């Protein structure tokens, strides 16, 4: 297969390009040069097509690029920002209100539990009040004496250890049912 003069010139130019660009020395008569030249031309064509496609995509995307916030009158941007601010204030107020309501309900339940305990202990306190005495300093105290057999037990006392005395006042008739 004989090469035309035009192809020979192109192959010589390609060999010169390889020498100047990549410092590769090939003879235009080398049998590998036509294949390399064909690959080189295909890659150039492919690169050109890719650049054209990229330019078309860039032009199309610049036309399609929407303006996110396009305000026509001078006060619109301020009103828009004011609306965003009010939205965040409203969301914050709702969250704060929820937290405040939850803490108020928790506090009310805690107070209710305290009140129930006070009412439960008031029955015991009512039984102890008649036995309260005051000393010379004005301090209140209750004297506990161990009961002897034959005496009527008002309450039961148990000595747990040398520092602790447990006083049993009897069972609640309401809760025993």
Over residues 69-121, the pLDDT tens digits come to 777 888 888 888 999 999 999 999 999 999 999 999 999 999 888 888 887 77
Separation of alpha carbons 26 and 35, rounded Å: 13
Reported as a single tens digit per residue, the pLDDT across 31-54 is 888 898 899 999 999 999 999 999
User: What is the separation of C-alpha 52 from the centre of its chain, rounded to a whole number of angstroms?
Assistant: 46
Task: Centre a 10 Å sphere on the Cβ of residue 21 and count the other Cβ atoms it contains.
Answer: 8
């Amino acid at each position: 297969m004989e090469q035309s003069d035009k192809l020979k010139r192109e192959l010589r130019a390609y060999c010169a390009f390889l020498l100047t660009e990549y410092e590769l020395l090939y003879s235009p008569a080398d049998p590998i040069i036509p294949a390399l030249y064909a690959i080189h031309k295909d890659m150039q064509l492919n690169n050109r097509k890719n650049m054209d496609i990229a330019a078309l995509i860039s032009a199309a995307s610049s036309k399609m690029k929407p303006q996110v916030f396009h305000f026509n009158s001078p006060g619109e941007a301020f009103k828009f920002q004011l609306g965003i601010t009010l939205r965040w204030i409203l969301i914050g107020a709702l969250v704060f209100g929820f937290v405040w309501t939850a803490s108020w309900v928790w506090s009310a339940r805690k107070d209710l539990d305290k009140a129930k305990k006070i009412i439960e202990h008031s029955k015991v306190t009512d039984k102890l009040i008649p036995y309260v005495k005051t000393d010379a300093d004005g301090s209140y105290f209750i004297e506990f004496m161990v009961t002897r057999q034959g005496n009527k037990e008002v309450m039961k006392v148990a000595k747990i250890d040398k520092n602790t005395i447990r006083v049993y006042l009897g069972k609640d008739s309401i809760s025993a049912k």
